[in-house]
Structure 1
C-alpha cells in the first residue's frame, strides 16, 4: 500500500503531530492496468468517502502522477476536476507544506519513495513554489497561484502536483502503459531492455535482481518476464 501524508511545515519539520491529511492508495485489482482503492482522512474532518481509481497503468508514470489522481478522486469523486479560483487578498493560504509518499508493507514497515515541499513565494498571498522529488524520476519544480476562501490541504497539494507535472492546475492525460517492441528469437518473444522508458526500465531491473539474484543481468529480456513484472512487482 502507498500512503501520501501531508504535513504543516517543510520536510525538516515533519512529525506525526502536524499531519494535516493522509491518503491511502491500495490495490483493489493488481494487474498491468490496476484499480486502486483511495481512502483519505483529513484533520478536524475525519474520513472521506472511499473512492476507486480504475485502469491505471503500473510502472508507466511518476508516483506523483498517481498521487495527484488519487487526491483528485478523493476530493471530486468521479466528477471532472474544475479549474482553481484566482487568488485575491482575502484568500486562505499556507506558508509552507510538505507531502511524502511511503510504501507500507503488511508487517508495518515503511519506505520513503518521494517527497514534495510547497511554500508561499514572496509577500503576495496565494503565490507558491512546489518542488517534487521521487525515487526513479528525480526532481521537478513549478511556480503557481492558488487561493480559496477555506484552505483545503488536499486540493492545494493536488494543484501543486499538477503544475509540476502538467504545467496546469488539473490532471493531464494519464500515462500510457509502457510496452516494449518484441521480436521472435529461438521460439521466444524477446525485447531490448534499454528500449524501456523510465520508470519501467529501472523497476524491471530491480524486479529481476530481487526475484533472480543468481542470474546475471541481460540486455535481451523475455517478454513473459516483463508481463510477470507488470502483474507482480
Structure 2
C-alpha cells in the first residue's frame, strides 16, 4: 500500500506542521497491469473521494504518475483524465432589513463549510432573527476574507 500524506507547515516552519490530508492507494489485483483502490481523506472532513485505477502498467512510469491518476480517479474523473478545475464555492449572499450582509452556513458546500467554521471559531457571528437558523449564519465580510486566504 502507498500512503501519501499532505502536511501544512505554517509559515514554512516544521515545528507547527500538521497533517491535513492523506491518500491510501492499495493494490487489489496483481500482475503487469494491476488494479488499485484509492481513498482520499481530509482532516475534519473525512472521506474526500474513493476510486479505482484499473489495469495500470505497474513498471512503466514514476510512482507519481500512479499517485496523480489515483487522485484524479478518486475525485470523480478517470485515471486518464483529470476532473475540471474546481471553482470557489458559489454561496448566496443575503441581506437583512437593516442592511447587514450575511451567508448561511448550511448553504456553504463541503469541505469549505468545515474549514470556514474552523477558521472563524471564536469570532463574532450575527444573530439573524428572520432566518430559519438565526445562529447558523456568518457575516459576509468574514466569508470574503476566508475566500481570499
* TM-score, normalised with respect to structure 2: 0.77
Tell me which residue corresponds to 1:162.
Answer: 72
Secondary structure class of the residue paired with 1:176? coil
Q: How far off is 1:148 after superposition? A: 5.8
1:171 aligns with 2:85: no
Distance change in 2, residues 1:165/1:147 (3 Å):
same
Q: Tell me, which stretches of 5 or more residues in structure 1 are unaligned? A: 1-95
Partners of 1:189 and 1:151 lie apart in 2 by: 52
CA-to-aligned-CA distance 1:92-113 (integer Å, 9 cap, x gap): xxxx322111101233221011
CA–CA separation in structure 1 for the residues paired with 2:87 and 2:44 = 17
Q: Which whole-Å CA distance do the structure 2 matches of 1:166 and 1:203 have between them?
A: 21
Structure 1: which 4+ aligned runs deviate by more than 3 Å? 148-151, 215-218
> What secondary structure is seen at the aligned counterpart in 2 of 1:121?
strand
The equivalent of 1:129 in structure 2 is: 37
The root-mean-square deviation of aligned C-alpha atoms, in Å, is 2.1
Assess, with a 3 A threshold, how the Cα gap between structure 1 residues 123 and 203 changes in structure 2: closer, same or farther: closer
The 2-side partners of 1:183 and 1:132 are apart by 34
Aligned: 1:208 with 2:120:
yes
Q: 1:143 aligns with which of 42, 46, 52?
A: 52
Tell me how far 1:216 sits from its aligned partner. Answer: 6.1
Output the TM-score relative to the length of structure 1.
0.52
Say which structure, 1 or 2, has more relative contact order (CA 8 Å, 6+ apart).
Answer: 1
Aligned-pair distance for 1:137? 3.7
- Give the SS at the match of 1:120: strand
